[in-house]
Amino acid sequence: MKMKVGVLGSGSMGSGIAQIAASKGHSVKLYDNDRSSLTRSIEKTESILNRLIEKGKISKVDKDNTLGNIITVSSINDFSDVDIVIEAIVEDLGIKKAVFNQLDGICKPDCILASNTSSFSLSSIASSCLKSERVIGIHFFNPAPIMPLVEIIPALQTSERVVNVSRDLIDSWGKVTVIAKDTPGFIVNRIARPFYGEALRIYEEGMASFATIDWALTHKGGFRMGPFTLMDFIGNDVNYAVTESVFKAFYFDPRYKPSFTQKSYAEAGWLGKKSGKGYYDYSNDNTHEEVDKDADQANLIFKRILLMLINEAADALFLNIATKEDIDLAMTKGVNYPKGLLAWADEIGVSECVSGLDQLYDEYKEDRYRCSPLLRRMGKVNAKFFD
């Protein structure tokens, strides 16, 4: 299925999406209102492709074909003949709605208008278009050419044809697609909140240091990165902003409450790797701090964070955010969790998960630790998520 693809925004995400589409043989029009950004995008893409040649991943012919399939355009009006536009601009709802309203008047009637937003309501974005049924969320993860997962998010208005065509297209690019309900954070950014939030809470209680908490998750849990290493990689400003956005979007549900520690680090400019200092100091490659390798403590830390993640995954299923298969697929392919969280719950035992969450609730008496009704119901009859 060859389509004419428009990519709006030439930052790292837009450039990555353009690279994928072009490498799969689609003709791509790349637009950004900053001409210098377009130049940098093409230069960066060429550099990435050269590295892939050096590694033996692609040939020079592949590189030339990919670059040949991308043209930069000087006006958004040049999207008038494309079959799909994927927007990857700044995360500002007002700007996105204005742009989609503009695209609705420029693009041909059957052109799909897709947003790469990670946090905003697709139904709200679609409301800015007269032909709102053609608007959909296609959420890639950074870096887009490498990360396998793409969340497909229909707005309330989205037609079934647009959902099917969009998913078939992204599947044909070799990506793993999951369908998510149009709710804050979709699947991954919703379910992953406790990985950061509960780790910060454990630190604030004085239970363990950043390095010890990271060690507990990587060595006991099998996670590729600990939460503090990952937050430093993402950037404390970005991670805090997402947490704050999700917290507000869920009407201040305490499960998503941001951390004063992360707020302070962001305000101090201790953003992580990109600023040279975050939870760890990167100025002299001094990223390793002393770790308390007490096995019992590590198990407590790992179990507490895992229970919160499982609870979030179960609640997403309870509220029909996605299927159980897509939830587990999203967490393993989108954020590289060692196991699907619902399958992990089966392994531990659902009743054991309920007991652990109830112990946390009994200790803190905070709604943050309330057990999902689905977990509680399943625990009573020793049910499993998967056979």
Q: What number is the average pLDDT over the span 309-325? A: 98
Percent of the chain with pLDDT over 90: 94
Q: What pLDDT shows up at residue 387?
A: 86
Q: Is the pLDDT confidence value at 85 over 60?
A: yes
Q: What pLDDT shows up at residue 298?
A: 96
Q: How far apart are CA 209 and CA 130, in angstroms?
A: 53
Q: What is the pLDDT of residues 228-242, one digit of tens each?
A: 999 999 999 989 988
Q: Is 59 exposed, middle or buried (0-12, 13-18, 19+ CB in 10 A)?
A: exposed
Q: What is the pLDDT of residues 101-120, one digit of tens each?
A: 999 999 999 999 999 998 89
Q: What number is the average pLDDT over the span 160-189? A: 97
Q: Is the pLDDT confidence value at 287 over 60?
A: no
Kindly provide the b/e burial profile for residues 152-174, where b requires at least 16 CB atoms within 10 angstroms of the residue's own CB: bbbbebbbeebbebbbebbeebe
- Please give the single-letter amino acid code of residue 58: I
| Catalytic machinery residues | 118, 139, 151, 189
Closest to 83 (Cα-Cα) out of 19, 169, 208, 167: 169
Q: Is the pLDDT confidence value at 288 over 60?
A: yes
Q: Is the pLDDT confidence value at 64 over 90?
A: yes
Which residue reads 């299923």 in tokens? 317
Cβ atoms < 10 Å from Cβ of 304: 22
Q: Is the pLDDT confidence value at 171 over 80?
A: yes
Predicted TM-score (pTM) of this structure: 0.94
Q: How far apart are CA 103 and CA 125, in angstroms?
A: 12
- Please give the single-letter amino acid code of residue 230: L
Domains and CATH numbers, the chain: 4-179 (3.40.50.720), 190-380 (1.10.1040.50)
Which residue reads 């998520």 in tokens? 385
Q: What number is the average pLDDT over the span 21-30? A: 98
Q: What pLDDT shows up at residue 238?
A: 87
Cα–Cα distance list, 202 to 199, 213, 222, 272, 302 (Å) = 5, 8, 19, 20, 11
- Sign of the CA dihedral with 176 first, then 177, 183, and 184 last: positive
Q: What number is the average pLDDT over the span 257-284? A: 94
322: CB partners within 8 A, 6+ apart: 178, 179, 180, 181, 187, 316, 330
Q: What number is the average pLDDT over the span 154-179? A: 98
